[in-house]
């Protein structure tokens, strides 16, 4: 069997088509150099099945195989799925720590320590007012100052407690907005389910779905910030997504199961919001800690006013930070244990409460909050650098390098030119055959 006359043209054509496809792919990479989640693509070129030529050798009588050009086997996206898994795991942890840090930071701002208007300063001013009253037990001004600083202190307790409560409420609202019906979780899940369907159809039809795969990966990345995400790819190219510690998969094929119940163990932003507001959550323990300080304050002050003759009214009413209030008028403030106006035993005893349980508990509470914020921030910073490193690795694998693409551009352009030249050569050869053969002697 001899070589088909026009085989050379076909081979050159296959080269032109393949180089053009590779050029187009490069062009697409350059166009998407800054697209979020885009994975660079390469055209996978494959030699065509060779053409067997029988008995070409007169010596051995054996045949040979003649290459029949090139074809594009596939346009693949370059991506490392293990890096995706790592990224999502760390991203969940980062978002969890970040949310904790942010909410605790807000609580810390509410405390406003150390400052000249903080609760600690006001408590100190309150003790000083009692100490001044001990110096001048009959002074109306000193009694008014005791009541005024007491009221200011109680108000600061009320305000702080209120701010912590509304922070709790906001945290709950934020969770509801993200995880509720029509929230971010559901929207992402629906988009993923839709892409699952489209990818399945495309793959069944033997079409490529690189762009849709990229989109789905971007959505999974975003979902991983909200809670832990586990993705398992099914044989039909759909992704089954489990979300947080939800009982059923969030997305399975084209089905979305949401809303579902999550707990603190869900990880990510949602897990953090749940844990902050949970039973042993940071916000709850801050509130109960503050209540403890308010109670210690009220009890220790009121204690010194009990069992006096004539009986004295309790100075503070309420035993929680939210309800603490001054219960007496300046005229009812008692500096002495008895009826004598000049006695100062009670005022001295109350002024001596400075540095006592209430103040120590408060300082401990502030220290605990400070180290919680510090810890959450440190964790956030650590995870941030881990996530950045993983993202860099992903970029290193999947990102578009313009230098590389420009080099490819030249390579494929030259390849295209060379294929075209081959075609010209073939054309000239055929011209010789067609135009100049058999014309001898004409």
Partner 1 sequence: MSADRITPAMVTSSTVADLSASLSSLERSTEELSSGRTILEPSDNPYGASRVIDLQSELDGLSAYESDAQSGVAWEDTASSAMSSINSSLQRVRELVLQAANGTNDQTDLNTIATQIEELTEGIKQDANAQYAGEYIFSGTLTTTAPYQQGEDDEYQGNAETISRAVGPGATVTISTNLSTLLGNGVASEDGKLLDTLRTLVTNLRSGTPEGIAAVGTTDLQSLDANLATLSELQSAAGSATDQLQAALARNEDLQTSIAEGLSSTEDTNIAATSIAYANEQAAYSAALRAGATIVQESLINFLQ
What is the full DSSP assignment across 229-266? EEEEE-TTSPEEEEETT-SS-SEETTEE--S----GGG
Residue 83 in 3-state DSSP? helix
Rounded to a whole number of angstroms, the minimum distance from the CB of residue 170 to partner 1 is: 20
Kindly tell me which of 113 and 239 has the beta carbon lying closer to partner 1: 113
Q: What is d(CA 31, CA 27) in angstroms, rounded to the nearest whole number?
A: 6
The torsion angle over the Cα atoms of residues 103, 104, 110 and 111, rounded to 10 degrees, is: 180
User: Per 3-state DSSP, what percentage of the chain is helix, strand, and coil (rounded to 5)?
Assistant: 60, 10, 30
Candidate list 151, 392, 427, 431; residue touching partner 1; CB under 8 A? 392
Q: Which stretch binds partner 1 (CB under 8 A): 210-218, 262-270, 321-329, 389-397?
A: 389-397
Considering only 355, 382, 431, 433, the residue that binds partner 1 (CB under 8 A) is 355
> Of all helices (H) and strands (E), which one includes residue 47?
strand 41-47
166 near partner 1 (CB under 8 A):
no
Member of 2, 34, 117, 207 binding partner 1 (CB under 8 A) = 34
Q: Does 310 bind partner 1 (CB under 8 A)?
A: no
Binding residues for partner 1, rule CB under 8 A, total 67
- 341 scored as a contact of partner 1 (CB under 8 A): yes
Residues 99 to 128: which contact partner 1 by CB under 8 A? 105, 108-109, 111, 113-114, 120-121, 123-125, 127-128
CB of 39 vs partner 1, minimal distance in Å: 12
The whole-angstrom separation of Cα 382 and Cα 377 is 9
Question: Hey, which residues between 50 and 69 contact partner 1 (CB under 8 A)?
Answer: none
Q: Give the separation between CA 129 and CA 350, rounded to whole angstroms.
A: 10
Minimum distance of partner 1 from residue 374's CB (angstroms): 4
| C-alpha distances in Å from residue 319, one per residue of 296, 301, 378 | 8, 12, 36
Q: Looking at beta carbons only, is 135 or 234 nearer to partner 1?
A: 135
Helix (H, G, I), strand (E, B) or coil at 53: strand
* Structural contact between residues 362 and 121, judged by C-beta atoms closer than 8 angstroms: no
In the complex, the residues that contact partner 1 under the rule CB under 8 A are 33-34, 105, 108-109, 111, 113-114, 120-121, 123-125, 127-128, 131-132, 134-138, 336, 338, 340-345, 348, 351-352, 354-355, 359-360, 362-364, 366-374, 377, 388-389, 391-393, 395-397, 399-404, 406-407, 410
């Amino acid at each position: 069997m001899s070589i088909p006359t026009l085989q050379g043209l076909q081979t050159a054509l296959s080269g032109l088509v393949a180089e053009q496809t590779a050029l187009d792919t490069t062009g697409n990479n350059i166009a998407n150099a800054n697209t979020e989640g885009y994975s660079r693509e390469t055209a996978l070129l494959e030699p065509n099945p060779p053409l067997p030529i029988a008995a070409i050798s007169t010596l051995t009588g054996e045949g040979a195989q003649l290459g029949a050009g090139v074809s594009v086997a596939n346009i693949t996206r370059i991506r490392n799925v293990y890096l995706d898994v790592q990224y999502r795991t760390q991203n969940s942890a980062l978002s969890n720590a970040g949310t904790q840090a942010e909410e605790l930071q807000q609580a810390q701002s509410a405390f406003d320590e150390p400052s000249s208007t903080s609760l600690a300063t006001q408590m100190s001013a309150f003790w000083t007012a009692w100490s001044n009253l001990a110096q001048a037990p009959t002074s109306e001004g000193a009694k008014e100052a005791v009541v005024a600083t007491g009221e200011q202190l109680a108000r600061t307790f009320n305000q702080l407690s209120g701010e912590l409560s509304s922070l709790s409420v906001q945290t709950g609202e934020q969770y509801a907005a993200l995880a509720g019906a029509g929230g971010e979780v559901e929207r992402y899940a629906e988009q993923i389910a839709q892409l699952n369907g489209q990818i399945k159809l495309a793959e069944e039809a033997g079409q490529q779905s690189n762009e849709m795969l990229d989109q789905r990966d971007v959505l999974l990345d975003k979902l991983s910030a909200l809670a832990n995400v586990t993705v398992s790819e099914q044989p039909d190219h759909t992704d089954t997504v489990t979300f947080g510690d939800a009982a059923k998969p969030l997305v399975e094929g084209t089905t979305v199961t949401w809303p579902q119940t999550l707990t603190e163990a869900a990880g990510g932003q949602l897990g953090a919001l749940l844990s902050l507001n949970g039973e042993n959550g940071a916000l709850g323990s801050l509130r109960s800690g503050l209540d403890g300080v308010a109670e210690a304050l009220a009890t220790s002050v009121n204690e010194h006013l009990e069992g006096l003759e004539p009986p004295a009214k309790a100075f503070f009413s309420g035993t929680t930070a939210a309800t603490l209030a001054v219960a007496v008028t300046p005229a009812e403030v008692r500096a002495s244990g008895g009826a004598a106006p000049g006695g100062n035993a009670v005022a001295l005893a109350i002024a001596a409460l400075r540095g006592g349980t209430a103040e120590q508990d408060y300082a401990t509470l502030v220290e605990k909050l400070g180290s919680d914020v510090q810890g959450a921030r440190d964790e956030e910073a650590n995870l941030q650098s881990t996530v950045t490193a993983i993202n860099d690795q992903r970029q290193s694998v999947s990102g578009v390098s313009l230098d590389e693409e420009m080099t490819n551009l030249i390579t494929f352009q030259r390849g295209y030119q060379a294929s075209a030249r081959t075609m010209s050569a073939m054309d000239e050869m055929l011209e010789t055959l067609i135009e100049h053969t058999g014309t001898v002697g004409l």
